[in-house]
Structure 1
Amino acid sequence: MIKAVIFDLDGTLVDTIEDIAAAVNSAFAKYGYPPRLGREMYKMVGNGMRNLIKQALPQAVSDQSIIEECASAAIKAYAEKPAVYSRAYPGIDELLVGLKSRGIPSAIISNKPDILTRMVVDAVFPGHDFRVVQGEKPGVPRKPDPDSSLEIAAVLGAKPEEVLYLGDSDVDMLMAGAAGFFSVGAAWGFRGTEELEKAGAMRIIDQPVELLSLL
């Protein structure tokens, strides 16, 4: 029996790609690098800002100090404008209402920096009470390491087998598998069904409200 739901953020609850691209391109402009389109970043998102910057920079750029400087600049730019274009995917609000009506607590875990995760959630979901909202923190292993998600499950009062985890990437499915959660892939997200299947998703849904039938 499912007693709690934990969500990924980017590409699962919220389409954040254009705000991410704007922040990255702001940093690139500062250092003279060419901009990238949002759609070019779908496969780059999910492993933290530094990994995103590393992939988005021209291949000739490998200096770690440049990557760090661009990442810091992108995080600063993102914090100044965290949710200009970001919107919840169609059906997400209905899903959250459905969970609340059933008395099922929910939480968010993201590899986006913690402060940015909270800013986006506050902007997009001002009326929803997620029990925990957690992003990447210094010294804390990020997904797919399962430790933080297991701590969140405990806060929600659920054993691992009582948690449904919804995400859109291989990182999400690998974390859910390692934690012992019921892993559900979001087909509408950044990565697509093939990646989710290969990463071991137990179910893949096409619309957010389909999750309610899995409870």
Structure 2
Amino acid sequence: MIYKAVIFDLDGTLVNSIEDIADAMNTVLKSYNYPTHSYENYKNLVGSGIKNLVVNALPEYHRSELEINTCFEAMMKVYSLRCTNKTKPYKNIIELLNRLKSKQLKLGILSNKADVLTKKVVSTLFIDYFEIVLGLKIEADKKPNPNVALEICMLLDALPKETIFVGDTNIDMQTANNANMLAVGVAWGFRDKKELIDNGAEHILNTPMDLVALL
């Protein structure tokens, strides 16, 4: 198969953002005198959007609709101010993107992070690599719903079967399979290989440049 496009997840795939996310969420939790979580624990809490993160981070006995919405608004404000403080591309990601562009592949990003924050991170850390960058705008379109992935595919002028979807979580692999794209998992992200394989990963990348070898 000749592939024309690659769609990447953002957090845990292109960038290590866990410290900024955790610091922001813990700031919110502390402000309400709720228990905080470690960076390691946050790796299992992220992936389904910031609102879902808020729900999972809150104590079970403080998950009323009012408390969730209040903490979600606070998290959006705090995180928007620090979403690029510690967040950096993983090693060799820039080299990978340069190689993919040299091969004339079209590149996109699809994240469950809020759209405005996704675009802020990408515009700060990556310049002129991605034709399409989309985060979460409507809850119903959240991955693993394939609708936005298919929209990106169309905008990149590629068929699903000509597109590789790269991510680090079960949700990303489910999205790829739901969209009939090649599901490729990364071993350096927030989840382990077993989760990726169990959710339909057809290939696992141990390093970013392994994607070039796959091509």
Does TM, normalized by the shorter one, top 0.5? yes
User: Partner of 1:34 in structure 2?
Assistant: 35
User: Partner of 1:112 in structure 2?
Assistant: 113
Moved over 4 A (4+): none
User: Partner of 1:9 in structure 2?
Assistant: 10
Q: Say yes or no: does 1:47 pair with 2:48.
A: yes
Counterparts of 2:105 and 2:180, CA distance in 1: 19
The TM-score with structure 2 as length reference comes to: 0.96
> Which consecutive residues of structure 2, in runs of 5 or more, have no partner in the other structure?
none
Q: How far has the Cα of 1:38 moved from its partner?
A: 1.6
Q: How far has the Cα of 1:135 moved from its partner?
A: 0.5
Distance 1:9 1:27, change over 3 A: same
**1:6 partner amino acid:** I
**1:154 partner amino acid:** M
Written as runs of structure 1 = structure 2, the 5 A alignment for 1:132-147 is 132-138=132-138, 140-147=140-147
The secondary structure found in structure 2 opposite 1:213 is helix
**1:205 partner amino acid:** L
Counterparts of 1:139 and 1:21, CA distance in 2: 22
Counterparts of 1:156 and 1:131, CA distance in 2: 7
Q: How far has the Cα of 1:140 moved from its partner?
A: 4.8
The TM-score with structure 1 as length reference comes to: 0.96
Written as runs of structure 1 = structure 2, the 5 A alignment for 1:146-165 is 146-165=146-165
The secondary structure found in structure 1 opposite 2:185 is strand
Q: How far has the Cα of 1:124 moved from its partner?
A: 1.6
Q: How far has the Cα of 1:25 moved from its partner?
A: 1.3
Written as runs of structure 1 = structure 2, the 5 A alignment for 1:72-87 is 72-87=73-88
Select between 162-171 and 61-70 the one with higher mean Cα deviation.
Answer: 61-70
Distance 1:62 1:85, change over 3 A: same
Counterparts of 2:104 and 2:85, CA distance in 1: 31
Q: How far has the Cα of 1:191 moved from its partner?
A: 0.6
Q: Say yes or no: does 1:97 pair with 2:119.
A: no
Select between 131-140 and 18-27 the one with higher mean Cα deviation.
Answer: 131-140
**Matched residues, number:** 214
Q: How far has the Cα of 1:57 moved from its partner?
A: 1.3
Counterparts of 1:80 and 1:135, CA distance in 2: 17
CA RMSD of aligned residues (A): 1.1
**2:10 partner amino acid:** L
User: Partner of 2:61 in structure 1?
Assistant: 60
> Which consecutive residues of structure 1, in runs of 5 or more, have no partner in the other structure?
none
Counterparts of 1:157 and 1:214, CA distance in 2: 21
Counterparts of 2:89 and 2:108, CA distance in 1: 15
Q: Percent identity?
A: 42
